[in-house]
Amino acid sequence: MDSIWPDADVEPNNLSQVIKSLRRSLGEGSGENRYIETVHGRGYRFVGALRVSAGTWGGAENADAPPTRNAQAYENYRQALRLIQRPTADNCARAHQLLQSAVALDAQFARAWAWLAGVDVFAVNLGHAAPEVLVTAEDCARHALRLDPRVSQAHIGLGTIMAQRGAWLQAESHFRTAMALDPSDALARTVHATMLLEQVGHVGRAVEQLRDAYATVPDDPRMLINLAIAHSVAGSDDEALRCAGLATAFGFPEWVLPLPVVYVHAATRAGRFAEAAERAPHLLPEELRDAEAAKLTYRALGNTAYRGPAVSAVRDLIERVPTALLARSGVAVVLMEWCAQLGLLELAFRVADRALDTRSDARPLSWQGLWAPELGPLRADDRFQRLVARLDFVPYWRAHGLPDCRLTRRGAKLS
């Protein structure tokens, strides 16, 4: 009682009433002790049988067979998984160090090798690490599978890397393997939805899959972040803001990517252009965050007097942005969105071409923003069909169906 109500005067009967409510919630009848046992003079204790939850994030841990016999390696591993629940740059870096220490202590620790790949992939996706890190991440994931082919997290990492390279069918194969290995793993369904389904335009399917995964791990901020982005791309701003607010309440900063995307889109669509302008610099990595183009673009949406300066600023930014940065945290799509909002469609397609021309296996690109309402003008342009061909979406669409949003206003078919 001192722990639960440290600064309140609470009668012992209050605790008894809470326990009664718990018994009712658990379906425990009068006189039963299936879950809660009364210890007279001491209090209460939980006595129900324990088992692995039906919903897990990143694979269930079997208490009877820990994945390593090295206690310190296991502790480092568990600490790393806790850190990346709030994947700031510092937390990702610290998690990487802990996992490196874990595999140094036990070189046969397959799960730690798989998560070493997973943390690096996550850091690249959020712009915390250079894309070149994915080369070593792939090596770690494949090494984990050599140690234990049943580690679903390794397939999740490989699926993500394949998706970032545009090898969509290979990515689908890895994700399906991961989900088959551990059907209870919310992570496999989540990453499949965000890194593949959203990228290729299956946004509605992604939202449904994320909702299903969220139901199993509703207290994980990563789930909330992914749901927020999916709802934002789908144009459901109320749900996007609700999920973003919950993620922030769980400790994820609202100015850390990708949450700024949610807040800027919601403000813009509601006509709150001043708010969007203030938040817009956080859409870019730190190297570009002082760019006036971000603020001017959203001011121009509310006041045409800003359009000329905004066009000049966006053109200047695109000319001087390093090619390597176009592949980080969706920078290319952010710039394309600004071009579309300012009516600069030709420049938007040039940005996409430049990003794809400089792409390599170590330079992933994030494309889910292509399906947001703001890029509707690009999807309505005939040149969009050439872009999706370059992105290698067509083979995936042939195998798994066309996007669930209209590609063009004219209803043109993709070859």
The b-or-e profile of 133-160 (16+ CB within 10 A means b, else e) is bbeebbebbebbbebeeebbbbbbbbbb
For the chain, the domain total comes to 3
Q: Is the pLDDT of residue 415 over 80?
A: no
Same structural domain for residues 271 and 322?
yes
- Cα 323 to Cα 17, 248, 345, 360, 365: the distances in Å are 63, 32, 20, 12, 12
**Do residues 162 and 358 touch, judged by C-beta distance below 8 A?**
no
87-142, pLDDT tens digit by residue?
Answer: 788 999 999 999 999 999 999 999 999 999 999 998 887 778 877 888 999 999 99
Domain membership of residue 371 as a residue range:
257-415
247 neighbors 221 (Cβ within 8 angstroms): yes
Q: pLDDT (tens digit, 9 = 90+) per residue, 197-244?
A: 999 999 999 999 999 998 888 877 888 999 999 999 999 999 999 999
Amino acid at 285: P
Q: Angle 355-198-142 (CA atoms, 0-180°, nearest 5)? A: 75
Is the per-residue pLDDT at 360 higher than 60? no
Q: Same domain for 343 and 284?
A: yes
400 and 315 within one domain: yes
Peptide bond into 258 cis (omega under 30): yes
Structural domain contains residue 184: yes
List, in order, residues 6 or more apart from 39 with CB less than 8 Å away: 45
63 in any annotated domain? no
Local structure of residue 413 (DSSP, 8 states): P
The position carrying tokens 């209209």 is: 406
- Of the chain, the percentage scoring pLDDT greater than 90 comes to 59
Same domain, 135 and 170: yes
